[in-house]
């Protein structure tokens, strides 16, 4: 996954930084809130039930964006797209970890650790001397 951002116009909301669309950011926030409400860890069955509820349009949520002004909104999101565009990126970025033995999804701080590692890689690159890559 590639995150492109403008450091002068960083959004206040991490979900707006991670996801390309407002709908994805809303669904991502719902998933994280659902996991927080369940002790930061949910099983495969709970994840599937959450995705199915979204797919069937059974989730009603109060969305904290100015566009909806805290109104309750009935949400619908395709189950396959949920796994492809929400859960998979969360897992690949280290926001959510999957324990294969316990078969549970758990919120993780690996995303923060990876961002720090990326910063260290850049610091290392800055300290290197120039390599002559351009032929004159």
Separation between Cα atoms, residue 38 and residue 91, nearest integer Å: 18
Q: What is the mean pLDDT of the chain?
A: 91
Separation between Cα atoms, residue 136 and residue 123, nearest integer Å: 28
- Structural domains for the chain: 11-109 (1.10.10)
| Model pLDDT for residues 9-60, shown as the tens digit of each residue | 888 889 988 998 989 999 999 999 999 999 999 999 999 999 999 999 999 9
Going by pLDDT thresholds of 50, 70 and 90, the confidence category of residue 1 is low
Place of tokens 């709908």: 23
């Amino acid at each position: 996954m590639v995150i492109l951002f403008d450091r002068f116009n960083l959004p206040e909301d991490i979900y707006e930084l991670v996801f390309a669309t407002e709908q994805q950011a809303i669904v991502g926030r719902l998933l994280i809130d659902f996991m927080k409400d369940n002790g930061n860890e949910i099983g495969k069955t709970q994840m599937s039930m959450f995705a199915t509820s979204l797919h069937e349009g059974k989730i009603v949520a109060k969305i904290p964006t100015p566009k909806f002004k805290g109104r309750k909104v009935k949400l619908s999101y395709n189950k396959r797209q949920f796994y492809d565009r929400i859960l998979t990126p969360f897992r690949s970025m280290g926001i959510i970890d999957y324990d294969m033995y316990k078969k549970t999804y758990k919120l993780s701080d690996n995303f923060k650790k990876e961002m720090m590692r990326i910063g260290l890689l850049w610091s290392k690159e800055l300290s290197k001397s120039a390599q002559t890559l351009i032929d004159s």
